[in-house]
Amino acid sequence: MSKLYVVPTPIGNLKDMTERGIETLKECDLILAEDTRHTQKLLNYFDIKTKLISYHKFNEKSRSQEIIDEILYEEKNIALVTDAGTPCISDPGYELVKIARENNIEVIGLAGASAAIIALSIAGLDTSQFVFYGFLPRKKSELIESLKDIRHNHIKTFVVYESPKRIIKLVEAIKDVMPNASLCVCKELTKLHENSFFGGVELVLDKLLNHIDVERGEYVLVGYNNDFKEKESPEINVGIHGIIFDKIMQKEYSLKEAVNAIVEEGIASKNEAYKASLEVKKFIESFL
């Protein structure tokens, strides 16, 4: 049976394209590209003549089944690429790979560029465990909630992608939620003007604010959460009735013993405990 190939492409430097990736794109019957104009430049550079069609987030659901049919019934080998990096990692492809798996089509992944992994490798932060979040929400309130979830995660190293227009707002939000975080913000990875900003969140924010080209290029942010905090469980207000019922049913107290215990423990006054005990007694008797 024909196969689906997931082929990474360079995130900036064309020399990062692997020989196997080039061979696969040449030998496949069809290439699916996020932006055909962008990918055509890559194909021209490596003299790849394979037919190219669009496959992006706006048509992946409608186009996936027809692509699967071409693999199943027309025995075509198909390659999936994205504009830069590895498909399915904050880029289109998941729907197609899922359906391919469901139809027992072999999916072959090739080694290649991934901005998240490159950033982790140069961040100088603990990479024994990490969580990849992709792009966080744009709306400020939703962004803050997402960062709070990151703060509560016991895995302290996190990776996010961000656009140049929003990188300052992201770091400012991190400063509010995780003021002691350590960051490495990577800009234009593998490209001519590659840069990275490392340090505490305030220092990194200051460096970005003073960087002349801060709103150009793409960003990967690697952070280490020094503000880890367990998520607080919501308080449960049991009430006097519940406490009395628990003492009677679970601890086998008599009604009188339960009342006396509540008063001694300072949970309620004698009058409050007695009144509640009568209501609990009435409730229990209704089932007898």
Q: What average pLDDT score do residues 8-22 get?
A: 95
Instruction: Please give the torsion angle defined by the CA atoms of residues 245, 251, 255 and 258, in that order, rounded to the nearest 10 degrees.
Output: -90
Determine contact, residues 148/177, Cβ cutoff 8 Å: yes
- The fourth-level CATH superfamily of domain 4-109 is Tetrapyrrole methylase, N-terminal domain (3.40.1010.10)
Q: What average pLDDT score do residues 90-94 get?
A: 90
Residue-level pLDDT at 69: 94
Residue whose pair of structure tokens reads 């496949």 in the numeric block: 28
Domain 115-224: top CATH class: alpha beta
In whole angstroms, give the CA distance from residue 203 to residue 10. 31
Q: What average pLDDT score do residues 110-124 get?
A: 96
- Looking at per-residue confidence, does 193 or 250 come out higher? 193
Q: Is the pLDDT of residue 1 over 80?
A: no
Q: Return the ∠ at Cα 7 (arms to 75 and 34), rounded to 5°.
A: 90
Q: Is the pLDDT of residue 28 over 50?
A: yes
Report the run of H or E that residue 158 belongs to, with start and end: strand 157-162
The domain ranges of the chain are 4-109, 115-224, 239-285
Q: Is the pLDDT of residue 160 over 50?
A: yes
Model confidence at 235, pLDDT cuts 50, 70, 90, reads: very low
State the pTM of this model: 0.76
Helical spans, DSSP H, in the chain: 19-27, 36-45, 60-73, 94-102, 115-123, 140-152, 167-177, 201-209, 239-249, 255-264, 270-285
Residue-level pLDDT at 242: 80
Model confidence at 223, pLDDT cuts 50, 70, 90, reads: very high
Q: Is the pLDDT of residue 252 over 80?
A: no
* 228-237 LR contacts (CB < 8 Å, sep 24+): 228/151, 228/152, 228/153, 228/154, 228/156, 229/151, 229/152, 230/152, 231/152
Mean pLDDT of the chain: 91
Q: Is the pLDDT of residue 195 over 70?
A: yes
Model confidence at 23, pLDDT cuts 50, 70, 90, reads: very high
Q: What average pLDDT score do residues 149-168 get?
A: 96
Closest to 8 measured CA to CA, from 140, 160, 113? 113
